[in-house]
Amino acid sequence: VPIAVVHEDVLDNDWAGLYEGLRGEESYLEVGGGPILPMTSASSFYEPVVPPGLVDLGLSFAALQWLARPGPGGTGSALFFDQLKGEDATAMAEQAHGDWSRFLELRADELVPGGRLVLDMMGRHEGGTSTGGKLWTQVRAVVDELIDEGRLDGSLVDGYVFPAYERTLDEVRRPFGEDLGERFELEHVALSDSETPAWQRYEADGDADVFARAFVGFVRAFSEPTLRAALDPDGATLDELYRRLEQRAAGDPSAFTFTVHVLSAVIVRTGAAID
C-alpha cells in the first residue's frame, strides 16, 4: 500500500531542513514495508492543503497558535494578545475563534469519515497566565525604548499585534458546539505544562549567559519574520531589539521563564464524506 505523507507549511518555510531529515538515517523512508511517498504542500493551513477526502490521519504540532493575520490595530504598544484589554481583547479572541473554526472546516473536507486529527498547540489555563506573557512584557519594554529613541515607528507598532493566540480548553471546545459539531467529534483535549530546553539547562548549570543566548535565539527564530515585515523592513533595529533582550535575559533569567502550556487534542471526522 503506498502511504503518502504530505508535509505542510507556508511557502516561505525553510524546506531544506525537511529534505535533509528525509535523507537521514532516522528518516521514515528507511522503514521497511513501503513504499512511503514523501510529498509537500506549501500552503497555509487556513487554505485547502490537499484535495478533498484524502486524509486518514492529520498531525500538527506547535503551530495552531499562529493566526492567519496580526491582531487588531490601534492598540498602542500592546504587542501580544494578553496585553489587550476590553473590546480589543474580545476582538482578538473572536479572530482566533474564526481561524480555529476555518482550520477545522477545511480539514473536515480533507479527512475521510472516521479519520482523525491529532494536534497540539500552545494553550492557556482558564484564568492563568499565557506562555509568552513574560517574554512579551520584555519585548514591549524594549520596543517602547526603541520608539522613544526614534528607532522604531510608533504608528507601525500601534497597528500591530503579534499573530498568535493561546486558546483555553473552552475556546478549543467552542466550534464543536456550533455547526462543526455535525462533522467532528472532540475525542480528547487536555493541557499539560513543559519547560523549554534552554530553561532546563539553566536550572541544571546556572549559566545565565548561555541561557540568554539559547532562549533569545529560539525567540528570534519564531518572531523575526513577522516583526520585521510589520515594524522594521530593513531589520537593523530588530538586531538591536534581540541584543537588548539577550542582555536583559542574561541579567535576570527569571523574567523570561516560558512555561509552555501544551494543549493537545484528538478530533474524529464523523458523518458523510463531504457535506
Ligand X SMILES: C[S@@+](CC[C@H](N)C(=O)[O-])C[C@H]1O[C@@H](n2cnc3c(N)ncnc32)[C@H](O)[C@@H]1O
Interface with ligand X by CB under 6 A: which residues?
A: 8-10, 13, 44-46, 61-63, 66, 222
Residue-by-residue DSSP string for 235-247: -HHHHHHHHHHHH
User: In terms of CB distance, is 46 or 258 closer to ligand X?
Assistant: 46
Select 121 or 172, whichever has its Cβ closest to ligand X: 121
Report, in Å, the least distance between residue 60 CB and ligand X.
Answer: 7
Q: Which is nearer to ligand X, 163 or 253 (CB)?
A: 163
Q: Write the burial class of residue 170 (CB in 10 Å: 0-12 exposed, 13-18 middle, 19+ buried).
A: exposed
Smallest gap from Cβ 106 to ligand X, in A, equals 11
Task: Please tell me the distance from the alpha carbon of residue 274 to that of residue 258, in angstroms, as a whole number.
Answer: 41
Q: How many residues does the chain have?
A: 275
- 44 vs 77, which CB is nearer to ligand X? 44
The rounded distance, in Å, linking the Cα atoms of 262 and 165 is 13
User: Exposed, middle or buried: residue 173 (CB in 10 Å: 0-12, 13-18, 19+)?
Assistant: middle
- Strand 55-61 vs strand 36-41: parallel, antiparallel, or unpaired? unpaired
Q: Quote the least distance from Cβ 92 to ligand X, whole Å.
A: 16
Q: Between 65 and 138, name the residue whose CB sits nearer to ligand X.
A: 65
Whose cell is 507556508? That residue is 10
Smallest separation, CB 233 to ligand X (Å): 20
Least gap, CB of 127 to ligand X (angstroms):
25
Residue closest to ligand X, measured at CB: 63
Three cell numbers written together for 27: 528518516
